[in-house]
Amino acid sequence: MRVIDSHTEGEPTRLIIDGGPPLGRGPLAERRQLFADTFDHVRRFAVNEPRGYDALVGALLCEPEDPTCTAGLIFFNNVGYLGMCGHAMIGAAVTLAHLGRIGLGAHRFETPVGIVSVELTGRNEAAVENVESYRHLKAVRVEIDGLGIVIGDVAWGGNWFFLTEFAPCPLVIGNIPTLTQAAQAIQYALKAQGVTGAGGAEIDHIEIFGAPRSPEAASRNFVLCPGGAYDRSPCGTGTSAKLACLAADGKLGPGERWIQESIIGSRFEAHYRPGERGGIIPRIGGRAFICSETNLWQDPADPFRHGIGGG
């Protein structure tokens, strides 16, 4: 399997260029389901130990169904599959430019949750115009052992998020274990108390906000991803969900800039325009850098040839 690794504002992406599973043609949502049902061992092989690690997000490059799209992308991580992934979309665009397959300007990509536009604005810079995002629930109260009552919103940004300004400690790198434990407790409580996204969808991302450390940023976040890893970037779909909540509260107007800072201090620059179905269309800009190009090998005699753990 040929892969190219990059990071977007600190968060890693592994793009599968060749050697992925034979998913055929058809809508990306159906191909993602085929991937999960028949070829999940390929996901584990590509991103889990001993070839990967918990924070690594994979992206499978696919032929698009829509002829106006440059490519299709299916996103996955150490435990399963994602609807969209903003940082990985930026990483994929920069990687395809590195390969000479795309140039500067706007490009359309299919994802399992819809078509996303990416504008490559420089060698290492791109901006994603995400799927329509919206707030589903406002000021949800969740009772959590050891933390008390936590209040937050539920929003869609390509994945489902619970967003809260409750922080048990300052949002700094040294507190990542404490923040992870709190976010996991919130996630367990949401499930136990029946709080979901639309249609009963699981809320698999927890986003905690605090004051920024940079004077240029509007806020700092800590994002717990499915599988227990934290997002090193400010999280593209999480920033989309945040913008949807700000727009719903009248705190951020169309075109107004929002700079989201991550737990490690990296930043996304974002703004939005109104959507067609009452939500917003976020635009998230950031930087990505190529880390390595490699071939992943699988030895039939290797007891961990399909990866370690991961569902």
The secondary structure of 73-114 as a DSSP string is: EEEE-SSSEES--HHHHHHHHHHHHHTTS--SEEEEEEETTE
Domain boundaries in the chain?
2-129+291-295, 134-274
Among 62, 85, 225, 245, the one annotated catalytic: 85
Nearest to 169 by CA among 159, 179, 161: 179
pLDDT of 310 over the 90 cut: no
| pLDDT band, residue 311 (cuts 50/70/90) | low
Question: What letter does residue 174 receive in the DSSP assignment?
Answer: G
Determine the average pLDDT of the residues in 67-78.
97
pLDDT mean across residues, the chain: 97
Q: Classify domain 134-274 at the CATH class level.
A: alpha beta
Clarify whether 245 is annotated catalytic. no
Report the b/e string of 109-124 with b at 16+ CB within 10 A. bbbbbebbbbbbeeeb
The residue-averaged pLDDT of 238-251 equals: 98
> Confidence band (pLDDT; 50, 70, 90) for 181?
very high
Which DSSP helix (H) or strand (E) runs through 17?
A: strand 11-18
What b/e readout covers 40-75, taking b as 16+ CB neighbours within 10 angstroms? bebbbbbbbeebbebbbbbbbbbebeeeebbbbbbb
Q: Average pLDDT for residues 215-223, to the nearest whole number?
A: 97
Q: Is the pLDDT of residue 232 over 80?
A: yes
235 is catalytic: yes
Q: What value does the mean pLDDT take over residues 12-26? A: 97
Query: What's the CATH number for 2-129+291-295?
Result: 3.10.310.10
151, 141 contact by CB (below 8 A)? yes
- The DSSP element (H or E) to which 9 belongs, if any, is none
Q: Taking 90 as the threshold, does the pLDDT of residue 268 lie above it?
A: yes
Contact 55, 229 (CB under 8 A): yes
Amino acid at 279: G
The residue annotated as part of the active site, out of 69, 225, 235, 245, is 235
pLDDT of 146: 87
Tens digit of each residue's pLDDT (9 = 90 or more) over 24-72: 999 999 999 999 999 999 999 999 999 999 999 999 999 999 999 999 9
pLDDT at site 309: 83
Q: Could you report the per-residue pLDDT of 103-114, keeping only the tens digit for each?
A: 999 999 999 999
Same CATH fold assignment for domains 2-129+291-295 and 134-274:
yes
